[in-house]
């Protein structure tokens, strides 16, 4: 398992938290996802043999947020 902290901008409320946790959490290979709204961070634990970091970033991007 890999653990990565992504810096995501555009997250403003609980809806954003649910949108990201829901969409990323549904991906095969993602074990845990936690959004820290106050810090603008998304912490993801995932199996890099199953899913790439790029695919996780794309999923967050598709929800309308900018991943740095
Ligand atoms: Cu929101």
- DSSP assignments along 43-66, one per residue: EEEE-TTTS-HHHHHHHHHHTT-E
Smallest Cα–Cα separation from 2: which of 42, 45, 37, 31?
45
Q: What is the pLDDT of residues 30-54, one digit of tens each?
A: 999 999 999 999 999 999 999 999 9
Give the model's pLDDT for residue 20.
98
Position 8 pLDDT exceeds 90: yes
Residue 33: other Cβ atoms inside 10 A: 22
Cα of 15 vs centre of ligand 1, distance in Å, is 4
Q: What is the pTM of this model?
A: 0.94
Cα of 52 vs centre of ligand 1, distance in Å, is 26
Cα of 18 vs centre of ligand 1, distance in Å, is 8
Give the model's pLDDT for residue 68.
83
Give the model's pLDDT for residue 16.
97
Cα of 49 vs centre of ligand 1, distance in Å, is 31
For the chain, what percent of residues have pLDDT higher than 90?
99
Cα of 19 vs centre of ligand 1, distance in Å, is 8
């Amino acid at each position: 398992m890999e653990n990565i902290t992504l810096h995501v901008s555009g997250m403003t409320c609980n809806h954003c938290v649910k949108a990201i946790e829901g969409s990323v959490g549904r991906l095969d290979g993602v074990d845990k996802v936690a959004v820290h709204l106050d810090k603008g961070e998304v912490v993801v634990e995932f199996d890099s043999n199953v899913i790439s970091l790029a695919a996780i970033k794309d999923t967050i991007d598709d929800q309308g947020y900018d991943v740095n």
